[in-house]
Structure 1
């Protein structure tokens, strides 16, 4: 089932038009050497663009929306994928300083060509599908996050992921971001373990809110997800992120 993109944009704009709290916007773009999704190769080099908004509905409840698009270099808009998600983030009264809970919905929208070529196998999670998700984020060293995602549409199954991340300040305007994650898949022909990823991103801050730099990922997919990877898939990228002051 395809949901028109304009409907999602209308929901986002409706949230922005509300008057409950501050709005935070995040934008970014990268040139990636490969398109990899949960350990599975989806395409060759391409551009990735993303926009995210977080809006304070109350003191403890936020609305979040994100739009993410991949376009393969050399094929243009005829070969790519969009990802759209909406969610609510809640900080409980007694533990709100230590944890937040989030729940929402994700829609994956590939072009027909990409869907037919790359996502035919059950165990790679074919796209043009939808998931609901639950997320627990802990305000502890390493920023641990636990995600539970359930596909209820085209490729029914469950994905469970645990991740951690941190930022190391270097000299001057430089910083190093790192992230690690492990993912497990149930119900799609994968023997529980699906993928792991280690990421390092070197960031140069041009001015507050704007950073540019390279990123390097090492994916460790299971053989069911990518039998040709020999257990490891490197991905290099270069891009920018920008977070303007809150409105």
Structure 2
């Protein structure tokens, strides 16, 4: 069957292709023929005018583009994967590359294949090291400007399985005038048992706090508001300790899950 038309690209080595004939959409990813990092663009054409790319995303990948996929329900979202270890989500409605780059995911190793998990918005990636990972597509809400961080001190006693997030307020009497707001401290009952807590991270989008400790565990703590909540068995607290925590209603609590 003879070709009905052809696209023109500045590069000869096309390594990935995706089309949507209903929307006259064609996208191609480019192979990197070099041994080291090099620009591996993603080009988009309108098939009614295939001689010139409609979009050129030049700088977002530094190695061979291995796969392209269109989102099943948001057809302007284009996923690209590469042996540079990155998954990029482009909003192809945007001409400028910086504006078009909707989300970047670092898979951590060269990606052989990737795509969307229809009908959800989840993303899968298969690495050349035979690992498979799943990622969430960033929501529009996550694009909103994050609120300014609020300073706090994380303190506790691992010998008492106790960890607290204590807000700090700035006074007006000089640069070192800070006060601990103990009344609004947040308790993570049980923490990591008798082991030291090494780090903490709070995801403001899901209102979840993650902790890791020398017990080899990563724990997620969900805000429970004003009401006190029982601690999961995984938190390592005894029933007696949970009851003692339950009686303290003046503090906001977090529950690990």
- TM score, norm. by length of structure 2: 0.25
Larger radius of gyration: 2
Structure 1 length as normaliser, TM-score?
0.25
Task: State the structure with bigger RCO (CA 8 A, min sep 6), 1 or 2.
Answer: 1
More strand per residue: 1
